[in-house]
Amino acid sequence: MTALYIILGILGFIVLLLAVICCLNAKVRIILNDGFRLKAGAGPVMITLIPGKEEKVDPSDYTYRKHRKRLEKERKKAEKKAARKAKKEEEKKLKQKAEGAKEEEGIGSRLSSVMELVKFGLRELGGLAKKVRIKINALHVTASGEDAAQAATNYGIMSALMSTSLEFLSSTSTLKDPKDGTISLSADFISGTTKYDIDMVLYLRIFPVVVTGFKALGLLIKQKAAGDKKDKGADNLKYHSFDPEDKPKRIRAKNRKAG
């Protein structure tokens, strides 16, 4: 009885943990000013993806002895990788020789399955995009150019680009109303360098992503079951061929007796 309570407690903890995870928000933060930075995470946890963490170089790791050991290790690793690859190729050839060439599916059937997956993907991605919430912390652009005319042209281009981008984000996702002073566009006729200061965060609750994943898994299982059913029907049709030579001996004997 104690073991049952322990198992139920573990299952309850797992369910509770999954429920908490599904309630969290997946976040992606994009920062563009002096450089490009990309952060991602869920809930309160955020990690920096770009730029990657700089590796510290220790000069003592590059002595002659350690360099030889490193080369020897890389050589052995390459040999093991080549041996595994050759073994897999040999097993693949033996399997094909034993089973024979598999009959390819019809082009129409494969095209129908692919189109069904594409339609499902577009529909679900559109639904997920609507659930994405975007918060703009900063969107400041200073347009400039080699001369005043070029700066004015760049200013017009940036103005059109910013308005189009904001309209697109607002139509395809949920764009939070930015605070006053968050978005600005100005012209610089002196420096000759266009400057950016962009900081935005994308939020998406994990639960809809999990639901979409289960839907995709169900669709794949359904397609697999339909394909297996079709193959089984083809095998039965082949087995019950009307060619007398393909019939089992007991069926031929029965026909002779009836005749």
Question: Which pLDDT band holds residue 255 (cuts at 50, 70, 90)?
Answer: low
Rounded distance between C-alpha atoms, residue 259 and residue 247, angstroms: 16
Q: Which of 238, 23, 247 is nearest to 255 (CA)?
A: 247
Transcribe 127-168 into DSSP letters: HHHHH-EEEEEEEEEEEE-SSHHHHHHHHHHHHHHHHHHHHH
Q: What angle do CA 86, 92, 97 make, to 5 degrees?
A: 130
Among candidate residues 177, 212, 208, the one with its CA nearest the CA of residue 25: 208
Residue 153: band (very low, low, confident or very high) from pLDDT cuts 50, 70, 90:
very high
Mean pLDDT along residues 152-173: 90
Q: Which pLDDT belongs to residue 247?
A: 47
d(CA 63, CA 67): 6
**What are the angstrom distances between the C-alpha of 145 and each of 33, 43, 123, 202, 253?**
18, 42, 43, 32, 94
What is the reported pLDDT for 252? Answer: 55
- Which residues make Cβ contacts (< 8 Å) with residue 64, sequence separation at least 6? none
Average pLDDT of the chain?
80
Q: Which residue has the higher pLDDT, 60 or 107?
A: 60
189-225 confidence digits (pLDDT tens) = 888 888 989 999 999 988 888 888 888 888 888 888 8
Geometric angle at alpha carbon 31, from 28 and 32, rounded to 5°:
145
pLDDT at 126 exceeding the cut of 80: yes
pLDDT of res. 254: 53
pLDDT of 55 reads 64
**Percent share of the chain, pLDDT over 90:** 15
What number is the average pLDDT over the span 144-167?
Answer: 90
The β-bridge relationship of strands 174-175 and 133-144 is parallel
Over residues 221-248, the pLDDT tens digits come to 888 887 777 666 555 555 454 454 544 5
pLDDT at site 88: 87
Q: Is the pLDDT of residue 85 over 70?
A: yes
29 DSSP β-pair partners: 39, 201
What pLDDT, on a 0 to 100 scale, did the predictor assign at position 30? 92
Choice between 258 and 39, residue whose per-residue pLDDT is larger: 39
Which amino acid, residue 233?
G
Owner of token pair 């563009």: 32
